[in-house]
Structure 1
């Protein structure tokens, strides 16, 4: 189960480069239901996501690099690249995503939670912008369908 809230970021903290980060590349084989292949560093993952925005089922399976490359070649729409920074925030980790072209300079923060109740009671830091958890236009699957 994935439980997360998502926010737009206009001005991220100035020191994000000092936090752990990695490059992510992902393509969508299908967006309804969501079937995605992703490269995170040297890990390759096939992900299936159920319906929903804040709370939804999510299943991940490891892939070989060869399987990932073969499936990525079949991706429908724009392949998304982003740099993900991991910022500690109390009991949580903020995943700060800086998107590459054609979505740059879009920056989005996501926070995952163990329960729906914790997600609903979360108070974001002052530097978070507008919440877009309930806006399907800001799902990566939806973004992959946009034309340049």
Structure 2
């Protein structure tokens, strides 16, 4: 069964600080699909979990919506696929920050992308996403801009620098 992801993505304004007590986790992601293919195939390690995810654009072309299939994989399968991804990988620390009825996840990238901070908010529907008023610590909106997908960032982590505020 295919799930749908409805989300908006923003840069994080420079004045944001990690809230006291905010939970975080370390993530490693590797991309197996060719850049620009439209579909995104990735593996992710988060804590003890190893996942494979396939994301595809919404059939109606709505940039807020993507189709998503995700399932667990064995550690040894993850490691084999991680190696096959070559340089198309990234790592980041993710913080979870409650915002009223929704939750923001703030990703602080590591390695060549160090200093880049992005915040994403998932919604239960397109109308809710469109009605969302970002707090002042959210910066420029990146929703729908393929240059800011994690897939693209994994390629950019090979040495090309990005603006981060």
Superposition TM-score tier, normalisation by shorter sequence: over 0.9
- Cα shift at 1:76: 4.5
Q: Distance in 1 between matches of 2:17 and 2:103?
A: 17
Match of 2:12 among 9, 12, 16: 9
Aligned counterpart, 1:91: 101
Whether 2:131 is the aligned partner of 1:121: answer: yes
- Cα shift at 1:5: 0.2
Contact 2:23 2:95 in 1 (8 A): yes
- Any gaps of 5 or more consecutive residues in structure 2? 160-165
- Any gaps of 5 or more consecutive residues in structure 1? none
- Cα shift at 1:12: 5.2
TM-score when normalising by structure 2: 0.85
**Where in structure 1 do 4 or more consecutive aligned residues deviate above 6 Å?**
none
Root-mean-square deviation (Å): 1.4
TM-score when normalising by structure 1: 0.94
Matches within 5 A, 1:1-148: 1-11=4-14, 13-16=16-19, 18-31=21-34, 32=37, 33-51=39-57, 53-146=63-156, 147-148=158-159
Q: Deviations over 1:58-117 (max 9, x none)?
A: 000101111100111111433110000000000100000000011110000000001011
